[in-house]
């Protein structure tokens, strides 16, 4: 067996009974655990230990020999299991060529840019985060001003969404969700009178005009 390529974002959960590994994302911390793979040498060593404890003498010595044999055989099996786990997990992770971190393809990888989202942030998500932060700061200013004089609260309904309000899928640009087709705008206006209408309303509540 040749050299085994390893990464830092994993935990080795292997025991004498078998092999199991956890691989996790450097950015968000989520990841995958490989299925448990039993070790034949571990089972053989355990059987010798039980026999030695019951009968002692020669079998007790055999158990010690078994442990030494198990050590070398277990290490070889462990290397093979780790190599197999690395190959199995590769499709779920990418190494960013900019910062060299290993990130999951589900949440933290930008395929269009070929970079992790730390190096190439999702602009839709960033715009939504910054707008939400600005809205909080604006609301705080309104609250402080209202403490000394009467101030009318501003309308914060129109937002740039980072997730679809119906199905929860991540969105970036456009007026409709790419997954379920739901409108992403938080408000709608009548085509006749310009008044606000509810999303999905067939008629305007102000003038009664039919909506598109």
Specify the pLDDT at position 158: 47
Specify the pLDDT at position 160: 55
Q: How far apart are CA 177 and CA 165, in angstroms?
A: 9
Does residue 4 belong to any structural domain of this protein?
no
Specify the pLDDT at position 60: 44
* pTM of the predicted protein model: 0.50
Domain boundary among 95, 116, 137: 116
Domain boundary among 50, 85, 116: 116
**204 CB burial (10 A radius; 0-12, 13-18, 19+):** buried
Same domain, 163 and 103: no
Does residue 197 belong to any structural domain of this protein?
yes
Does residue 140 belong to any structural domain of this protein?
no
What residues are paired with 103 via a beta bridge?
94
Same domain, 16 and 96: yes
Q: Which residues contact 41 (CB under 8 A, 6 or more apart)?
A: 69, 70, 73, 74, 77
Specify the pLDDT at position 105: 92
Domain boundary among 116, 136, 170: 116
Does residue 141 belong to any structural domain of this protein?
no
CB 210 within 8 Å of CB 201: no
Does residue 127 belong to any structural domain of this protein?
no
Same domain, 97 and 162: no
Enumerate residue ranges in the chain where pLDDT < 70: 1-2, 6, 41-71, 146-162, 165, 172-174, 185-189, 198-200, 212
Does residue 138 belong to any structural domain of this protein?
no
92-122 pLDDT, tens digit per residue, is 999 999 999 999 999 899 988 899 999 998 8
Q: Rounded to 10 degrees, what is the CA torsion of 15, 21, 25, 29?
A: -40
Does residue 142 belong to any structural domain of this protein?
no
Domain count, the chain: 2
Residue 202 sits in which domain range? 158-212
């Amino acid at each position: 067996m040749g050299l085994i390529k390893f990464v830092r974002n994993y935990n080795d959960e292997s025991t004498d009974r078998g092999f199991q590994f956890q691989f996790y994302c450097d950015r968000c911390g989520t990841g995958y655990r490989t299925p448990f793979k039993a070790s034949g040498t571990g089972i053989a060593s355990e059987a010798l230990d039980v026999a030695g404890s019951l009968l002692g003498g020669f079998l007790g010595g055999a158990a010690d020999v078994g442990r030494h044999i198990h050590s070398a055989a277990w290490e070889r099996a462990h290397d093979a299991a780790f190599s197999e786990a690395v190959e199995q997990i590769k499709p779920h992770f990418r190494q960013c060529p900019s910062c060299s971190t290993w990130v999951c393809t589900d949440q933290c990888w930008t395929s269009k840019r070929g970079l992790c989202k730390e190096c190439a942030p999702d602009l839709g998500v960033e715009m939504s985060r910054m707008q939400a932060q600005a809205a909080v700061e604006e609301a705080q200013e309104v609250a402080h001003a209202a403490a000394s004089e009467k101030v009318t609260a501003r309308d914060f309904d129109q937002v740039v969404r980072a997730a679809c309000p119906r199905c929860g899928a991540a969105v970036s640009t456009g007026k409709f969700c790419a997954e379920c087709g739901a409108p992403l705008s938080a408000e709608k206006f009548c085509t006749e009178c310009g008044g606000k209408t509810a999303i999905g309303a067939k008629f305007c509540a102000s003038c009664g005009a039919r909506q598109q």
